[in-house]
Amino acid sequence: MRSSLADKRWHSAGIGSPRRPQDMRIAIPIHAFEPGGVERVGLRLAERWQEEGHDVAVVLGRDRGTCREDRPALDYRTFREPIPTAGWETIWMMLCLLRFLMRERPDVIFCPGLTYTAPCVVARLLLGQCCPPVVVKVSNDLDRPDMSGPLAAPYRAWLSLQGRLLDHFVAIGAPMREPVASALQIKADRVSVIPDPALSQAECAGLAKLAGRKANDRAGRSFLAVGRLVPQKNFALLLRAFAAMASPGDRLAIAGEGPCRAALEREAGRLGIAAQLTMPGHVHDMTALYRDADVLVLSSDYEGVPAVVIEALAAGLPIAATDCCASMAWLAGDGAFGRLAPRGDAAALARAMVEASKLDPPQEDRRCFAADFTLERASQHYLGLFAEACEAQAPEKSGEQVREPRGGGVCQGNHHHKA
Which domains are seen in the chain, by residue range? 5-197+374-411 (3.40.50.2000), 201-370 (3.40.50.2000)
- Contact at 8 Å (CB) between 48 and 378? no
How far apart CA 105 and CA 118 sit, in angstroms, is 20
Report the pLDDT value the prediction gives residue 105, as an integer from 0 to 100.
92
Report the pLDDT value the prediction gives residue 396, as an integer from 0 to 100.
59
How far apart CA 214 and CA 221 sit, in angstroms, is 11
- Contact at 8 Å (CB) between 58 and 75? yes
Region of 407 on the Ramachandran plot (φ > 0 left; ψ -120 to 50 alpha; else beta) = left
Give me the amino acid identity at 280.
P
How far apart CA 239 and CA 223 sit, in angstroms, is 11
User: Distance between terminal CA atoms of the chain?
Assistant: 29
- Contact at 8 Å (CB) between 225 and 255? yes
Report the pLDDT value the prediction gives residue 224, as an integer from 0 to 100.
98
Q: How far is CA 307 from CA 67, 72, 197, in A?
A: 17, 19, 8
Closest listed residue to residue 187, CA positions, set 3, 6, 4: 6
Report the pLDDT value the prediction gives residue 365, as an integer from 0 to 100.
82
What residues are paired with 192 via a beta bridge?
A: 170
Which residues of the chain are modeled with pLDDT < 50? Answer: 1-19, 215, 399-419
